Structure 1
Amino acid sequence: MNRIILHYDMDCFYASIETRDNPRYKNHPMVVAGGVVTTANYEARKYGIHSAMSTFEAKKLCPNLMIVFPNKEKYFKESQIIHNLVLKITHKIEFIALDEGYIDITEVIKKFSSKEKFAKTFRERIFKHTGLTCSVGIGVNKISAKIASDINKPFGQYIFNSEEEFVEYMKEKKIRKLQGVGEKFEKLLNKDNIFLVKDVHKFSLKELTKRYGKARGELLYLYSRGIDYSPVEYDKPTHSVGAENTYSFSLNTEEEINKKLQEVFETAYRRLKEKNFLTKTISIKVRYEDRVTINKAKTISIAIYDRDKLFEYVQEIFNEIEEKSSIKLLGVTFKNLVEFSMRQLSFKDEFNSK
């Protein structure tokens, strides 16, 4: 069965919340920022202001810029309201940030007269309950849905009905438009006369992996052709316990990455203990500056709860990831959970308890 995937993305999420709660920010260039811009509204973006820019730089570009200090607790609560609304539709959801997510609507869509009608109803429902706008994309997979949601921002929608439609739309777009191609990679591709998405089509998968490595070569080959088999990775309640953090600055040094990885692990482990679970699957999530996200996991034969051993597995999995710079998000999740009271002791546990 062909899949139908929706991607929703809240428009300038933090800035929109602040504007809703304080109308004096409306139609005025404004950013949510501490020392660094977290979110810029559309008026501020006209001046070239963007996230991860220092407020000093932003002020130089727009002297009358309004700066609002972040209220993360408020944004989290608003995100939970949105999540609960979406969960009333289906549980086949992958929330990838406070303000966006993928939804597998393959079955749900049958109840609606069209994809257009569903997308419109979805946007209006979010706005009715929160006073916030979101943009929606529908595609045949995650990559096409993600690109589609960005086409008619803000408060718009776009639909790809097939891989062919996606390829036709993308072929004349700059290669940077392709998810997973950041500034550095774009420069490397430009040196090889790859400027547009269609320029990738003249290369075979073998040629691309030879030139740019297995991960990046495969990404170019598949995404340029609208091919993406990755599932919407949803978890039922209590089937996983974890934590993740998004960072204002990209993590680049080994020291800061290790520190942040340890911090997110400790939060995830504390939640595991609080819920009295053991785990058989350890998973980590890494998102880079260019929005590429990597998920890696390891499953072991016997459920454990030993903190040191679990952190060893986290480090082992992380070390398997090739790229260790420009990291914007780190997450650790424990899956395949077993209630502590129901656990069967292994022979090793029996031996160690004597």
Structure 2
Amino acid sequence: MKRIILHYDMDSFFASIEIRDNPKLKNKPVVVGQSIVTTASYEARKFGIHSAMSVFEAKKLCPHLIVVPTDKEKYHRVSNFIHSLVFKITKKIEFISLDEGYIDISDIGLSKEKLKKFAETFRKRINYHTKLTCSIGIGFNKLSAKIASDINKPNGQFIFYNEEEFIDFIKEKELKIIPGIGKKYRELLKKKNIHFVKDAFPYSLKELTSAYGKSRGELLYLSIRGIDYSEVDYKQEIFSIGNENTYRYPIVSEPNIKKEIMDIFAYSYKRLVRKELMAKTVHIKIKFVNNKTLTRSKTLFSPSDNEEKLYENIESLIDSLTLKTPVKLLGVSFSNLIKKSVRQLSFF
């Protein structure tokens, strides 16, 4: 049976919940966060404001910005309610964060003509029960579904029925449309004048892996061709692996903090490799001398055990923070873990 995968992504989730619960915020530039923006409303994004930006910088871009403190318990409650609604469709669901997930609808028996109606009904039911909007992408695998859900955001939908449609759509787009092709990777590709998806097609798998490593080269080669055999991981165990260090003397300078993070990452990564695991989500934890604790996480498009790729994401989390207060605890961890052998079998 041909696979049909749906990806749903709640629109500006945290900010939308706050706007729903306080109608006075409607149609105004709103961000959720304390010192760092966790979510920006679409009105705020028009000013160039985005997640992981400091609130200080955001206010410079938009002086009349409204900042709402984070209420994690409320967001978890709403997320769990959405999960309960989605479970009424099927159990073949992989929730990858509070506000998005993949659903394998292959065995529901939908014809090509009925997929559009199914996506419309899905969005309407979510809105009816939560007063929130979501965007839907449907594709022939997780990769195509993920890209499809971003095309008509917010509160829209898009469907890729086959590989030909997918390639025809993305070939003229910039490489940032591909999940996992981050800023640093794109900078390397630009050195070979690879700016758009179509620019990468002439390169063979061997050429790309030789130039950029096995993980990165394969990701680019396969993704631009719409190739992704990864399953909707609805039986995935949820656990984590990582380490924390508490310091007798607080760490003051940002370079020293980054060095300690690198050391903790290296130790945690060795544990990950030793247990033959791959991670999909990376986390950092920072506790300051004033006992304020910051946690940040980033979910990759697919599980990885590539050291450079995992550290690059840890580094991006650190770079998004302003570290001026002395630190007394640092931690690095990995979650959404699967056995490497399982991933290889399902992918190939």
1:208-223 equivalences under 5 Å are 208-223=208-223
In structure 1, what residue type is equivalent to 2:119? Answer: A
Select the residue among 236, 239, 252 that pairs with 1:242: 239
Residue equivalent to 1:352: none
2:281 paired with 1:286: yes
CA gap of 1:41–1:335, structure 2 versus 1, over 3 A, is closer
d(CA) in 1 for partners of 2:33, 2:100: 20
d(CA) in 1 for partners of 2:182, 2:277: 28
2:205 paired with 1:205: yes
Normalization by structure 2: what TM-score? 0.76
d(CA) in 2 for partners of 1:205, 1:175: 17
CA deviations 1:231-288 (Å, max 9, x no partner) are 11112xxx8352599xxxxxx946337769999xxxxxxxxxxxxxxxx996643359
Contact 1:189/1:195 (8 A) holds in 2:
yes
1:3-14 equivalences under 5 Å are 3-14=3-14
- Could you tell me which runs of 5 or more consecutive residues in structure 2 were left unpaired when the two chains were aligned: 243-256, 269-274, 284-296, 318-331, 340-348
CA gap of 1:333–1:15, structure 2 versus 1, over 3 A, is closer
d(CA) in 1 for partners of 2:95, 2:75: 15
Residue equivalent to 1:25: 25
Residue equivalent to 1:255: 260
d(CA) in 2 for partners of 1:27, 1:84: 29
Residue equivalent to 1:152: 152
Superposed displacement of residue 131, structure 1? 0.6
2:303 paired with 1:295: yes
CA gap of 1:12–1:109, structure 2 versus 1, over 3 A, is farther
Superposed displacement of residue 76, structure 1? 0.5
2:168 paired with 1:168: yes
Superposed displacement of residue 100, structure 1? 0.2
d(CA) in 2 for partners of 1:257, 1:73: 31
d(CA) in 2 for partners of 1:121, 1:261: 47
Percent of residue pairs bearing the same amino acid type: 54
Structure 2 counterpart SS, 1:67? strand
d(CA) in 2 for partners of 1:216, 1:98: 27
The number of aligned residues is 289
Structure 2 counterpart SS, 1:179? coil
- Could you tell me which runs of 5 or more consecutive residues in structure 1 were left unpaired when the two chains were aligned: 246-251, 264-279, 297-317, 337-354
CA gap of 1:115–1:142, structure 2 versus 1, over 3 A, is same
CA deviations 1:171-210 (Å, max 9, x no partner) are 0001121111111111111110101101111011011101
Superposed displacement of residue 321, structure 1? 3.3
Residue equivalent to 2:254: none
Q: RMSD in angstroms over aligned alpha carbons?
A: 2.9
CA deviations 1:19-76 (Å, max 9, x no partner) are 0000111011110011000000000000000001001100000000000000000001
Residue equivalent to 2:344: none
Superposed displacement of residue 3, structure 1? 0.5
* Bigger Rg over Cα: 1
Contact 2:281/2:336 (8 A) holds in 1:
no
